[in-house]
Copies of this chain bind each other. A is one copy, B any other.
Amino acid sequence: MAITIKEIAQKAGVSRGTVDRALNGRGGVSPEVERRILDIANLYGYKPNKLAKALATKANPSKIGLISIENIFFDQVIEGVIRAEEEISDFGVTVCRRMIRGYDAKSQLEAINSMVYQEKVDALAISPVSDRQVIARLAELAAEGFPIVNVNMDVPFSKKLAYVGCDYFKSGRTAAGLMGLITGERAQVGIISGCGNVMGHTQRVEGFMSVVKNEYPDIQVVDIADSYDDEQRSYDAVEAMLRQHPQIDALCFTTGGAGGGLKAAEALRGKRLRIVAFDQTPITERYLMDGLIKAIVCQQPNEQGYQAIRLLFEYLMEGERPASQQVLTELTIKIKQSMESESRGGAR
């Protein structure tokens, strides 16, 4: 059993109230006494009891804000957030969610301010776009000590609590590795990229190229097109690419939202193309089961949402910053058979 405030108070020869003040930096404790208390707490590895704390602070419970993007991929992030919500609701901590349509900086700025000033949240989880003003605002808040976690999308500012998401560069490398495996390391590849102002998509392409360049002399990346995460534009991009480069026999889609592009690929070439894609969405899932896509490199959006909220919760409850500012979720690869849902059952 861990040491309690009461025990520390005894050992230090002071009252519980004083220990509480010292431990939580509420001020009003003489430096000398504070030192003594902190030393004892440290020595015995004091960890506050979350339960007791939650019970005691039930009067003014904490609130976490979440600002995310409105689309099928982020729905999975939200699922994880909700899972975390259920776990922490017992502690009186609530989550206020806000979904934003598209990757719009203005709306994000508005949402941030609304969260802070209207909803008066105590912490923020956000999937920020790479926008100068958004970054500046987040940096400012973080500098004031406001806890912020970036989920799934990352932007640079030093005082953030953490980034929870995947390693996009590595996911690009993984896609290239898969491409090597399924093509016998010989292919003419076309890449269909996602949205320009989403940093992750760019990094995926870079990761992909790094492997092709260094490890697969017989794989050429013939063309790279941008789909702008739009149905029609991705259809057109793929159609144009395949017409212009008839030698292309493999495709890599760096975004899970390019249903149009996949449709074009199927229409023009059918299953002769070897296709690798990213992210499990209803679209990629369908084409994987269908056999058009051979493999998908997935992040774990559900886990990301869950971890982001948990991290903020731990911070609010115990004041503990995560061990690393980069909390990377594992990459997982899916193929048809690993996606199938039916089980033959095991022991009863």
A binding-site residues for B, Cβ under 8 Å: 1-2, 49-52, 54-55, 89-92, 150, 154-158, 163, 167-171, 173-174, 176-178, 181-182, 184, 199-200, 203, 206-207, 211, 294-295, 297, 326, 328, 330-338, 340, 343-348
Contact = CB atoms under 8 A, between A and B. Distances in A.
A1 B90 CA distance: 9
Contacts of A346: 154, 163, 167-169, 199-200, 203, 326
A347 B154 contact: yes
Nearest to A48: B90
A105 to B, nearest CB: 16
B55 A177 contact: no
A199 B174 CA distance: 32
Contact of A331 (B156, B211, B294, B338): B338
A343 B297 CA distance: 16
Query: Which of A170, A344, A347 has the most chain B CB within a 10 Å cutoff?
Result: A347
Given A174-B338, A333-B335, 11 more contacts: A51-B51, A154-B346, A170-B337, A173-B340, A176-B337, A181-B295, A184-B184, A199-B346, A200-B346, A211-B337, A328-B343
Query: Which of A90, A163, A176, A199 has the most chain B CB within a 10 Å cutoff?
Result: A90
Contact of A181 (B92, B181, B326, B332): B181
6 contacts: A2-B89, A154-B347, A169-B346, A173-B340, A199-B347, A200-B346
B328 A330 contact: no
Query: Which of A91, A297, A333 has the most chain B CB within a 10 Å cutoff?
Result: A333
Contacts of A347: 150, 154-156, 163, 199
